[in-house]
C-alpha cells in the first residue's frame, strides 16, 4: 500500500469532531447568559454585593465578544473571523488612542480607573472589545433587517450605512451607562453646544466615521466566498437587545429617564425591523 492510498483513508480533521463548533457556541452562549443575569441582577438590586469589583463586567464583556465570534464562525471560515476581529480591534484601538491624546474625532475625554487595566497608555483593553461587539452585532442585525433586499446591487452600501447607524445607536445607550452609572470615562468641558449626558455630540459623529472606516476595511473578510443559504440568524439581535437592556437598567436605576427611554425605543424599532426581515 503506497503513501497516497494511506492518506486517502485518513479522515479530514474537520470531520474528527462533528458538531464541535455548535457545541462550543452553545456552551459559550450559556456562560454569557449566566454572567449577564448576575451582572444585571447586581445592577438592579446589588444583592450580590460586587461593590466596586471590575471583574464581573470584564468577564461579561469577554463572553459577549466570545459568543458573538462563535456565532459568526458558524457562517464564515475561522480565518475570516480571526482576520475581521484583528482588523476591528486594531483600527478601533488606534482611533481611540488618537482620540484620547488629541480629542479628535470624539472630543476631550479621560479614561477612569473603573474601566480596568490598560493595554498601553492611554488605551484600556476593554475599549477595542466594546467596538468589536458593537460592529459585529450591528452588522448582524443590519443583515437581518436587509434580508429581503440582499440580492440588490446596492445591498452592500445599505448594509454599511445601517451598521454605522446602529453603532451610533449603541453608543447613545453606552455613554450614559459608562459616564453616569459605571464611571468608565469622563468628558472634559468643551465648546460643544449640544450634549448627551455630558457627552458632546461630535462624539457620535466620530463613532459614525470610525464605524464606516472599520467597515471599509473589514467587509471583505466578512463576505463568504462560497455562499451557502442560511436560515435567519437571530443571535446578533439577542445580544444586541441584552446589552441594551443592561444600558437601560443602569439608566433606570440612576433615574436617567431620557436615556432609558431612548434605549428602549431604539430596541423596539430594531426588533420590529429585524423580525420583519427574518420572516421574509
Q: 172 near 204, Cβ under 8 Å?
A: yes
Backbone angles phi, psi at 73, to 5 degrees: -70, -10
> Quick one: which of 106, 259, 118, 131 has its CA closest to 186?
106
SS3 (DSSP) at 176? helix
Quick one: 122 exposed, middle or buried, by C-beta within 10 A (0-12, 13-18, 19+)?
A: middle
CA distance 157 to 15: 37
SS3 (DSSP) at 28? helix
Rounded alpha-carbon distances, angstroms, from residue 202 to 193, 196, 207, 242: 10, 10, 9, 27
SS3 (DSSP) at 111? strand
pLDDT tens for the chain, 280 residues long, are 454 444 444 444 444 445 677 888 899 999 999 999 999 988 887 766 676 778 999 999 999 999 999 999 988 999 999 999 999 999 999 999 999 999 999 999 999 999 999 999 899 999 999 999 999 999 999 999 999 998 899 999 999 999 999 999 999 999 999 999 999 999 998 887 899 999 999 999 999 999 999 999 999 999 877 766 678 889 999 999 999 999 999 999 999 999 999 999 999 999 999 999 988 8
pLDDT at residue 269 in the model: 95
pLDDT at residue 261 in the model: 97
Grid coordinates given for 122: 492611554
**What predicted TM-score, i.e. pTM, was given to this entire model?**
0.91
> Quick one: which of 138, 91, 107 has its CA closest to 244?
138
Cis-peptide, bond into residue 69, ω within 30° of zero: no
pLDDT at residue 225 in the model: 74
Grid coordinates given for 168: 451610533
Angle, alpha carbons 150-156-160 (nearest 5°)? 120
Amino acid at each position: 500500500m503506497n503513501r497516497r492510498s494511506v492518506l486517502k483513508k485518513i479522515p479530514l480533521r474537520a470531520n474528527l469532531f462533528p458538531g464541535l463548533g455548535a457545541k462550543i457556541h452553545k456552551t459559550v452562549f450559556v456562560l454569557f447568559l449566566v454572567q449577564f443575569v448576575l451582572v444585571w441582577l447586581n445592577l438592579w438590586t446589588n444583592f450580590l454585593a460586587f461593590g466596586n469589583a471590575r471583574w464581573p463586567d470584564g468577564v461579561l464583556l469577554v463572553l459577549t465578544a466570545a459568543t458573538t465570534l462563535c456565532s459568526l464562525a458558524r457562517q464564515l471560515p475561522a480565518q475570516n473571523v480571526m482576520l475581521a476581529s484583528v482588523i476591528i480591534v486594531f483600527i478601533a484601538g488606534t482611533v481611540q488612542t488618537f482620540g484620547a491624546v488629541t480629542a479628535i474625532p470624539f472630543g476631550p475625554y479621560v479614561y477612569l480607573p473603573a474601566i480596568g487595566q490598560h493595554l498601553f497608555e492611554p488605551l484600556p483593553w476593554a475599549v477595542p472589545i466594546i467596538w468589536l461587539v458593537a460592529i459585529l452585532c450591528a452588522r448582524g442585525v443590519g443583515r437581518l433587517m436587509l434580508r429581503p433586499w440582499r440580492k440588490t446591487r446596492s445591498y452592500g452600501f445599505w448594509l454599511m450605512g445601517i451598521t454605522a447607524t446602529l453603532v451610533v445607536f449603541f453608543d447613545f445607550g453606552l455613554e450614559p451607562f459608562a459616564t453616569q452609572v459605571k464611571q468608565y470615562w469622563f468628558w472634559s468641558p468643551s465648546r460643544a453646544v449640544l450634549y448627551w449626558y455630558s457627552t458632546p455630540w461630535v462624539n457620535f459623529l466620530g463613532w459614525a466615521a470610525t464605524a464606516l472606516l472599520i467597515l471599509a476595511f473589514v467587509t471583505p473578510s466578512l463576505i463568504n466566498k462560497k455562499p451557502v443559504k442560511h436560515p435567519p440568524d437571530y443571535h446578533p439581535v439577542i445580544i444586541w437587545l441584552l446589552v441594551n437592556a443592561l444600558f437601560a437598567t443602569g439608566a433606570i436605576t440612576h433615574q436617567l429617564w431620557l436615556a432609558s427611554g431612548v434605549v428602549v425605543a431604539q430596541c423596539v424599532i430594531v426588533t420590529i425591523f429585524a423580525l420583519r426581515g427574518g420572516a421574509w
